[in-house]
Amino acid sequence: MTALAQHIARLIKETGPMPVSHFMALALGHPKLGYYMTRDPLGAAGDFTTAPEISQMFGELVGLWIAETWIAQGSPSPFVLAEFGPGRGTLMVDALRALRSVPGLLQALDLHFVETSPVLAAIQKQNVPNATWHDRFDTLPEGPLYVIANEFFDALPIRQFVRMKQGWCERYVMLADDSTDEAPRFEAAIIPVPQASNDILASAQRSGPINSLAEVSPASAAFTEDISLRIAKHGGAALFIDYGHTKSAVGDTLQALRAHQFVDVFSTPGEADITAHVDFEALTRAAKAAGVAAFGPIEQGTFLKALGIAERAETLKAKATPEQARDIDVALNRLTSREEMGALFKVLALVPNGAPGPAGFEV
Ligand code: SAH
């Protein structure tokens, strides 16, 4: 049992069952014992692998997307480029290399990282020394804002509601009957009191049948709103890439990964990566309400192909050994094929109302 499990067990004893969202926030973000606070979870030796860690092509194409969007809005100078949840900084290293060839861009660039993990921020600092770090949105400087977020929203807490006869009731984490102080055990259960806050569910969720489960991420909507208000006011763009669904729907997507294997969500808080699928319709709703235009979501495979990933792979292969060329083909397939990341991962772009449509989203 983990130290964080004992801490959460004490909290539940003292203050009662906690919503799933509160458990997820503590498991991932407790300042001392949270999953992201204590480790680098990425790569073969960690718990999961992300697109920028699979191939340099991913960050390079995202970099070129930023350049095209920046040029399409008249090359504002200076501008803020902010990455949310940059992991090891790999995407930004590859993006900056691609951006070197764009006249005037690096001179105009003011680079910022929004990151809560001290372990990952230290790795980012080694790889991208000239960024400025923030642990929340509000301290980002004003001005035209270009945002990148890859696999950021899936790590933000979700609330879960279940439709009972009496209405939508929230799922809470409580202590199991056999839980002890030394070996706490948690289980999720529904407190059968309808929530007054049902209006946070999308209409497609509210009409779900009895026993259906609906997920909402107020934190994701809040980040999207903050980013969108800034883009509406000062110009800029946002690119959100994550696994999830195009339309709001019912269904339980909460999952935990440890050493690349699925584990029980509630058994080892602080030791496993807990995520939920991103509801892109909810993000789109928050963005439009804040006054920006939304493009997509489209599938990652479609997006990367439209930006020229196949051509980029050929260029890299021309200079590669046969073994490296095979690796490039494997990476290309993982990023784009519908059986791998190509269809599950979606891409949503936000730009000011009336601004030119962003690259990769032409129909
Ligand atoms: N974008 C990277 C890493 C994805 S993992 C990649 O694609 O490889 C999720 C990232 O989000 C980590 O860097 C994690 O520390 C960060 N993170 C999680 N919750 C956060 C929050 N509330 N605020 C800022 N960063 C957060």
Instruction: Assess whether the C-beta atom of 60 lies below 6 angstroms from ligand 1.
Output: no
Q: With cut-offs at 50, 70 and 90, classify the pLDDT of residue 45.
A: confident
Q: With cut-offs at 50, 70 and 90, classify the pLDDT of residue 362.
A: confident
131-141 pLDDT tens trace: 999 999 999 99
Residue 328 in tokens? 């490039």
Is pLDDT of 348 > 80? Answer: yes
Assess contact for 332 and 283: CB atoms under 8 A: no
The reported pLDDT for the residue numbered 2 is 82
Mean pLDDT of 36-58: 94
Residues contacting 276, CB < 8 A, separation 6+: 24, 154, 158, 215, 217, 253, 254, 255
Assess contact for 100 and 92: CB atoms under 8 A: no
State the closest ligand 1 atom to the C-alpha of 83, by its place in the atom list counted from 1.
1
Q: With pLDDT > 90 as the criterion, what percentage of the chain qualifies?
A: 96
Neighbours of 47 (CB within 10 A): 20
Single-letter code of the amino acid located at 325:
A
Instruction: Assess whether the C-beta atom of 50 lies below 6 angstroms from ligand 1.
Output: yes
| Exposure string for 224-244, b = 16+ CB within 10 A, e = fewer | bbbbbbbbbbebbbbbbbbbb
Mean pLDDT of 166-174: 96
The reported pLDDT for the residue numbered 44 is 84
Q: With pLDDT > 70 as the criterion, what percentage of the chain qualifies?
A: 99
Is pLDDT of 347 > 70? Answer: yes
Single-letter code of the amino acid located at 243:
Y
Task: Among 53, 152, 243, 273, name the best residue to mutate to test ligand 1's pocket (greatest count of ligand atoms within 8 A of Cβ).
Answer: 152
Average pLDDT of the residues of the chain: 96
Q: With cut-offs at 50, 70 and 90, classify the pLDDT of residue 61.
A: very high
Neighbours of 178 (CB within 10 A): 8
State the closest ligand 1 atom to the C-alpha of 51, by its place in the atom list counted from 1.
7
The reported pLDDT for the residue numbered 1 is 61
Is pLDDT of 197 > 80? Answer: no
> 36-157+216-307+341-352: which CATH topology?
Rossmann fold (3.40.50)
The reported pLDDT for the residue numbered 245 is 97
Residue 61's nearest CA partner among 110, 19, 101, 94 is 94
**pTM confidence score:** 0.97
Residues contacting 167, CB < 8 A, separation 6+: 194, 195, 198
265-275 pLDDT tens trace: 999 999 999 99
Q: How far apart are CA 57 and CA 55, in angstroms?
A: 5
The reported pLDDT for the residue numbered 199 is 82
Mean pLDDT of 176-180: 95
